[in-house]
Amino acid sequence: MTDYCDIIDIKTNTDEEELERQRRCIGIVKGLVKERSDREGRDITYHVTTFGCQMNARDSEKLSGILEQCGFLYEDDELAADLVIYNTCTVRDNANQKFFGHLGSLGAIKKRRPDMIVGVCGCLSQEKSAREKILASYPFVDLVFGTHNVFDLARLLVMVLTREVTKGKGSTVTQVWEATDRIVEDMPVKRNYTFKSGVNIMFGCNNFCSYCIVPYVRGRERSRTSDDIIGEISRLAADGVKEVMLLGQNVNSYGRGLDEKITFAQLLQKVEKVDGIDRIRFMTSHPKDLSDELIDVMAASKKICRHIHLPLQSGSTRILESMNRHYTKEQYIDLALRIRDRIPDIAITTDIITGYPGETDADIDDTIDVIEKVAFDGAFTFIYSKRAGTPAASMPDQVSADVVKVNFDRVLAKVQEISTKQAARIEGRVMDVLVEDINRQDPSLVTGRLSNNLNVHFPGDQSLIGKIVDVKLNECKGFYYIGERIR
Ligand code: 5AD
Ligand code: SF4
């Protein structure tokens, strides 16, 4: 008992001490899992359910890595696992609804299987009101932890598994830091793919777009050092990874606040030098910080993929100003066309919100105008969702649902018309493709990704997965291709 309390409560002063503490916690959990496994004569399993963006997907790989080192075995069926963790998203209200739906259906199962452990983490658990709702209405939840506490999972599991001897049975273990400057490196990770991987280059966001909850739930922007990033990518390359996706809410401001003087473009040049990495992607670029230096580096690179995700949000300068985006309609168009000019074949994709407070038909006309002028290769279109605590939530002139629906459909139709045309541009060409999966509908086909992020399906088998091959793009089907392997 004292051992547990010591390890749980000890204060660590450096990231290295913390890493050591986490390793000891993993050892303790492993022992407890083994005891249960021996007692019940079976494997003890886990499942991590991920909602939301690539950041969450990467965090889930970290959670899975820790759980596997603790001796849990992966179980595909969420409801059959002994431990299930929900990694939540709160960027829009429908993400919240979806999660609470899942949690609701778990109540009955947990009654039948009281030994099941239920954890909730991610962006939603950073929100006080959502956290209170979980604690009040879903008391069967064993563990709630925040976006800054992912590295701490093993210690939190020691607390959950030893509640009888430490904090008392039945209570929900809760650990949500409001902020942190801690980045604990070298924690275990279980990758979803052998040949590609996300790599966090920074955490948090400082932009405070008026509609967005991310800066409140992911905290202030913090960059990892380039040595740590390149070290991780080199290890990934040695492990067979060919494609990395550099992740940050605003990669173009990478480096701010670090002791070393480095820009995102310079980081890309360092990544480019890592042997074994053939493809480099990144996400997401804020238009206000995208430099000419970056365009030059991309244009000169053989490894950086011909795709940039450049969220527009709105084409109306008036709305952009209210959104706190720091660019005008004209500046955005100019930037996108400069990128197209310097990097032919590049795919530019975007995010667009309709229904932002005060939005009029004239604002939608502006958005449609930008879609036409930039000719987006793809766009995620969202209906504005009011997020409590953000400036936009208390703005007057919230747009009624029926008006939003009409405008949303207009924007979506235009995006689909333009992006279908864009995709057809490369029909008949031969391009390199990273093969990712067996096709789900037709197992005689494999699915691969072009540098410009489009998918292509072509005859092939398991042996091609993870390889880069040349494929002729025979037929454009709107937003994907049917092709054949040439080499
Ligand atoms: N409502 C609708 N969409 C939003 N996004 C962020 N916040 C909101 C919101 N409150 C969208 C933006 C962002 C993407 C990740 O989610 O378009 O780029
Ligand atoms: Fe949200 Fe804006 Fe930050 Fe993107 S840049 S995460 S939209 S606040």
Digit-coded pLDDT (tens) for 212-267: 999 998 889 999 999 999 999 999 999 999 999 999 999 999 999 999 999 999 99
pLDDT of residue 184: 77
Q: Is 356 in the pocket of ligand 1 (CB under 6 A)?
A: no
pLDDT of residue 164: 63
> What mean pLDDT is reported for the chain?
93
Q: What is the pLDDT of residues 352-368, one digit of tens each?
A: 999 999 999 999 999 99
Q: Which of 68, 434, 384, 432 is nearest to 245 (CA)?
A: 434
pLDDT at 3 over 70: no
Nearest 5 degrees, angle CA 188-CA 213-CA 94? 90
Q: Is 217 in the pocket of ligand 1 (CB under 6 A)?
A: no
What is the rounded distance in angstroms from the CA atom of residue 201 to the CA atom of residue 228?
9
Rg over CA atoms, the chain? 24
**Structural tokens at position 84:** 């299930």
Q: Which ligand does the CA of 217 lie closest to?
A: 2
Q: Is 205 in the pocket of ligand 2 (CB under 6 A)?
A: yes
Q: Of the ranges 1-5, 177-181, 219-223, 385-389, which one carries the lowest mean pLDDT score?
A: 1-5
What is the rounded distance in angstroms from the CA atom of residue 247 to the CA atom of residue 188?
18
Q: pLDDT band at residue 107, thresholds of 50, 70 and 90? A: confident
**Structural tokens at position 415:** 């995006």
Q: DSSP assignment, residue 399? A: P
pLDDT at 98 over 60: yes
Coil/strand/helix, residue 84: strand
Q: Which ligand does the CA of 323 lie closest to?
A: 2
Q: Is 215 in the pocket of ligand 2 (CB under 6 A)?
A: yes
Nearest CA to ligand 2 atom 4: 249
pLDDT at 105 over 90: no
pLDDT at 2 over 70: no
Nearest CA to ligand 2 atom 5: 207
What are 347's strand-pairing partners?
307
Give the strand pairing for 430-438 and 378-383: unpaired
- Measure CA of the first residue to CA of the last residue in the chain; give whole Å: 62
Average pLDDT over residues 324-336: 98
pLDDT at 1 over 80: no
State the DSSP H helix or E strand holding residue 455, giving kind and residue range, or none if neither.
Answer: strand 455-459
Q: Is 353 in the pocket of ligand 1 (CB under 6 A)?
A: yes
Distances (CA, A) of 314 to 139, 195, 362: 41, 36, 12
